[in-house]
Structure 1
Amino acid sequence: MKKTVVSIAGTMMLALLLSCGSTKVDSDDIDSYGDETEATAIPLTAKKSSSQKIDSDPYSKSKIKGSGDRSFMEKLFEFKKFEKYDSTNVYLKKGKKRLCTFIHKPQTDLAGFLVRYDTSSYACFLATNERNALIKAANQYFEDFDNKKLDKKMKKSERAYGQVGAYEEFGIAESMMTSYSKPKAYFGYKFLGKSPYFCIYVVRSPNLNEDLGSNRPPQSVDQKYYFTRAQIEKLTDFLSDESIDALNAPIPTESAEPDSYEEAE
């Protein structure tokens, strides 16, 4: 009985820590490429976890629309599409700094980040395999950084660690993100000045929401997100299978059985 209580409490505590950290933003210290700093490797989950329900289409409509405990009105008007948790900062083109909020679609394996890019808000989601590919890419970046293997002259270095499929929702405001697409996302790095940043490059992709009619934006825009070591480590920690499984874990209900109390003789 004690082991069950401890296990439940541990799961709830992890989810609580993730949801309560949204006001804390990490340091914006720029990485020095000459320092011997080390980043903690983020382990890939070896065994199949509850979030790893692999579909032929990891971004199917049934998964997108059927997620979470939403009311009829919320589903009808697409409100409360995702939950927001912790955050960090991220750099965009020309060194612009923006808030990067970590997000998750309830009761799915879809998680990612929300950023205001140019004149629109973009919510980029990755499924289980794609999240793990990002974690693997980040670990490779940490290793290459420490071993001084990052090449400032390399062409298309933003694509150095491979590509995955993603799912993205976007609109002129967070409350009006009615457009969606399924873009390619590349992982790599880019030198901005003397410092190499980890890069997530989301390629522009057609707007798939035909219900919006001819007035809908025809496509998204190219997006390049640049992260320091600390920032990408914080994001990939959130995107780990352990983290997402904790968010999807059911909240235990209280026992209705009365407590027994035997008086001492």
Structure 2
Amino acid sequence: MFSLKNKSTVITGGGSGIGRAISQIFARQGAIVHVLDIDPALAEETVKNILEAGGQAVFHMCDISKQQDVREIFHKIEHIDILVNSAGIAHVGKADTTNEEDFMKVFQVNVKGTYNCLHEVLPLMIKIKGGVILNIASIAAWIGLPDRFAYSMSKGAAFAMTLSVARDYIDQHIRCNSISPARVHTPFVDGFLSKNYPGKEAEMFEKLSKSQPIGRMGTTDEIASLALFLCSEEAAFITGNDYPIDGGFIKLNN
């Protein structure tokens, strides 16, 4: 079950965190993984891990906010069975405390970057008469999170783009779904705590962990396992849906 044998797969943001975990589990299941990232050191480490485990992977340096860069790489790959839009950046701030520069930076990566990948992959998938697209959204697309105005905007857009693509391309046998994680323990979380709560990292980590009713943060492997299912043939009847993976955050926190 859940075989991706010889499936040509593009994973943006595959250098670290959720993107790395998805890259590794897809490779273990037989996919040919194309890791797109703006950080060559991290991405090359992901590829090295996959190759050492006997998988197939290659790194492509890519700034997904630039459509021409995405176009060149996608057309170089040419055949793409699966696209996972995992690359993204976060931001802390309310509507009146988020300046235009920061808002546009989040928009360029999280919204325009996702659009750029969709814009370039869909003609390729139409050509091969099918494909699977998975967008990484967030619980911020479902509920109001404090001080996450720009980030919530961007993840709401990812959710909406998922529904639109699923509707528009269902007749071309292209499936599109999204995943909405709550807090997941990634290097970003550790960096955020070090920057904003020096000396209180452990205390704040515990506080953030317990904001999920289940009492902990998710792991990147747990998110990757759901991604694997949704991109596999076992999920062939699933399209146009978003899947919260949140330790009960949305339904049990009220």
- Scaled to the shorter chain, the TM-score interval is under 0.3
Query: Which has the larger share of helix?
Result: 2
Tell me the TM-score normalised to structure 1 length.
0.24
TM-score (norm 2): 0.24
- Whose radius of gyration is greater, 1 or 2? 1
